[in-house]
Amino acid sequence: MKRNVAILAICQALMMSGNSLLVTATALVGLQIAPQPQWATIPFALMFVGVIITTYPASMMMQKVGRKAGFTLGAVLGVGGGVVSAWSIMQQSFIGFCLGSMLLGAFNAFGQYYRFAAAEAASDRLRSRAISYVLAGGVLAAFAGPNLAKTTRETFGAEFSGNYACIALIYCCSLLLIQGLRLKEDGSGTAEAQSISLMDVLRRPHFVIAVASGMVGYGVMNLLMTATPMAMIGCGFHFDQTASVIQWHVFGMFAPAFFTGHLIERFGAYRVMIAGTIGLLLSCLTNLGGVAYWQFLTSLVLLGIGWNFCFIGATSLLTRDAVAKGKVQGLNDLLVFVTVAITALISGQLHHYLGWQAISLYVIPVILLVTIILFVSLVRQRRLAQA
């Protein structure tokens, strides 16, 4: 278990290092080579389109052929996406850059299952901790990604092309590490698992709660995170200041993972997810207070912490379904990343037409709604336990 969790944690760190680099650079590359400035976030949105069209097939594939084979294919797609994106920037090809972004998204679709693989490698008692420890590997990304963005930005002459060449190299390292996994496949592709329909999955209350928490946590986080570089540049901040804010945001996303699993074991997933939605609300309120550097920084750190609690809490709930894990995990990630793709697609439009603070204002009612749903579910669980 320790060997597998360690490898998965490193692969998670490498994936998130690449992602934090992408967050820092993708919208700015879009501003440079897109035909119209309001299309700047389309490549970032297409990265999540790549996630969407790959997520469910990836889950079902790994249920049949195993995690290791799936992770290997995903890493190959990631390397290809980095190479295509770097070449497209040098050629000033917006279409090519969009294609490279989709390939990177396909890699992320496979990589999102690192957390589930860790849960399967651990005992029932330690599943929440295993999930947390793998996601904690993303702490490395908080410092590696933005610093790599700054140091490789002009490596090949064309601005930002070196960033994507660096991503290809990072994912090559993941490809090599994956070959060291020793995962025991549990035969979840049996007739019993295949007999469970998607409608059966959708009727499970804990699945609905997990999806709601994941969709809001990831959607709000992605909407604000994607708009942040454009908002800061528009407010006159330097690229290095933007990279620093993204760095601490990613730190806020993953540093709590060292103890989130322990919190879930002690207080339960519902309470942790409620704490996550409160973090999202505080982030939005900070944005409404002004556009100083410290407000961008504070807001993005709170945003990361809120995402962490919502996402790990939701993942912990999903691991209850061991038999139909392919469908449960695949459908969850599909719904979550459809939301993420939509937020990435509209982020540039909302920022262009409404402004930075309006985005934060409009997501508050959605966060409050999910907070209420989680609280009602928690009360219901307590009453059932008492009965």
Q: Which residue ranges make up each domain of the chain?
A: 2-386
Comparing CA positions, the residue from 284, 336, 328, 329 lying closest to residue 310 is 336
pLDDT, position 236: 86
Tokens linked to 314: 């939701």
Q: Are 181 and 75 in contact (CB under 8 A)?
A: no
Q: Please give the Cα distance from 54 to 59 (Å, whole number).
A: 9
> Which CATH entry fits the domain spanning 2-386: 1.20.1250.20, 3.90.600.10, 1.10.3720.10, 3.30.365.10?
1.20.1250.20
pLDDT, position 3: 85
| Mean pLDDT of the 363-376 span | 93
Provide the phi-psi class of 26: left if phi over 0, else alpha when psi is between -120 and 50, else beta: alpha
CA–CA–CA angle 80, 85, 87 (5° rounding): 100
pLDDT, position 296: 93
pLDDT of 280 over the 90 cut: yes
pLDDT bucket at 82, cuts 50 / 70 / 90: very high
Which one of 214-228, 297-311, 320-334 scores highest in mean pLDDT? 297-311
Question: What are the tens digits of pLDDT across the range 108-163?
Answer: 999 989 988 888 877 777 777 888 888 887 787 777 776 777 777 777 767 788 88
Phi, psi of 56 (to 5 degrees): -65, -45
Least confident range from 46-55, 66-75, 87-96, 114-123: namely 114-123
pLDDT, position 172: 95
- Helical spans, DSSP H, in the chain: 2-33, 42-65, 67-91, 94-111, 114-121, 127-136, 139-151, 161-178, 191-195, 198-202, 205-234, 239-254, 257-267, 269-288, 293-318, 325-353, 356-386
pLDDT of 198 over the 70 cut: no
- Reported for 39-43, long-range contacts at CB under 8 A and 24+ positions apart, including other chains, are 39/94, 39/348, 40/230, 40/348, 41/226, 41/230, 41/344, 41/345, 41/347, 41/348, 41/349, 42/98, 42/345, 42/348, 43/94, 43/97, 43/98, 43/101
Average pLDDT of the chain?
85
The larger pLDDT score, comparing residue 32 to residue 37, is at 32
Tokens linked to 270: 């519902």
What is the model's pTM? Answer: 0.77
